[in-house]
Structure 1
Amino acid sequence: MKLLMKKEWKLTVTPVPLLFLLLSALVLVPSYPYYVTFFYNALGIFLMLQAARENRDVYYMALLPLTKRDLVRARFSTIVTLQLLQALVCVPFMLLRRGYAEINNPVGIEANLAFLGFGFMLMGLFDLVFLPMHYKNGYDLGKPFVISSIVLFFAIVLLEALDHIVPYMKTVCESYASADLVRQLPVLLGGMAVYALEVWLAYRKSAARFEKVDL
């Protein structure tokens, strides 16, 4: 598995998803839907998988003395690492954004712990929709990405709408105050837990589907 992960980072991961990590800086823009940051992460993953497909990566991996489940597990590990990096890179930009917290974001949520928690949920949602569809044959990417993008943007719009309606989200989740950041911890921890569940469900479904594929 260690050698397989080494192969993933040397041959599969392209510069694109790594460059897209820097788009976490979008949280510095005072009037911007910050959740879109996580869509760019999804786009980077899609472009990476597209490059792997064109290089016939799945057929190369099929020649290795590994099970199909191992191949899916390695790819999931790569994707999860990229998503965790996206969340991690957000942190320094979030700290910078807090420096001018008096300038509110009229579009929606502020770049705080609650934002990060909901961001984890969004990344997990993308995995749950996109990856099982892709691993139905290990080849299709266009249709799964379009459908998962629609679902992702619907979830983003819903979260931004709730941010203006639900009292807790409208007050606590819109704040940079230290006391409110503590009150946002359940959202962050809950979001991480939901993300872990979504990834686990996506992996189970993807692995089960890919094992039935005749390469």
Structure 2
Amino acid sequence: MMLRVLVVDDQDLFRGGFAMILDAQPDMRVVGEAADGAEAIRVATGLDPDIVLMDIRMPVVDGVRATTEICAKTGAKVIVLTMFDVDEYVYAALAAGASGFLLKDIRRDELVNAIRVVAAGDALLAPSVTRRLIADLARRGHPVPALVTRLGELTDRERDTLRQLARGLSNVEIAAELHVSENTVKTHVSNVLSKLGLRDRAQAVVFAYESGLVIAGES
């Protein structure tokens, strides 16, 4: 399967560098580039790429708003690009629908692998951002009632799977934790995302904490 990628960055050097790396991969093709969020929305809506590499800080329209609109209007999965792992916009982008984030100083092989990981349906959350995301959710206090109600749509085993997703575990690790096969875990994950109307694991992590299924500080 050829992955179609849109590269969005207001700096020509970064945009061109990422495009060159990705176009060199046998399973990837850069179908477009954009220099700001407004252009990204127009291009993504027209091309419907599989993956969008999205710079978070840009003129005209920033990466958060662009991510929100692209996730709402297309089937693309967005990976946020940032210079700082403590960027205050990262959580907002994840909440807007981004599937993960990358630092701009990422190595070539890590960039390529990250795109494949997200395309396969996994989230890409570095530990530092996951800790900040959890801390932010913890500060909000009480669970969101509407989300608590939606937890009732899940079976006990699906809720167990969601708890492990919120810990950042892979399918293999969840299978070992729950003593089931990896295929069974894949089925549970698919059911969780489908029943809750979530795009991917990144949104599942947010949902798990906002619904109160998982509480910050619990192991």
Q: TM-score, normalised by structure 1?
A: 0.27
Choose between structure 1 and 2: higher helix proportion.
1
Q: TM-score, normalised by structure 2?
A: 0.27
Higher relative CO (Cα under 8 Å, sequence separation at least 6) belongs to: 1
Larger radius of gyration: 1
Q: Which has the higher strand share?
A: 2
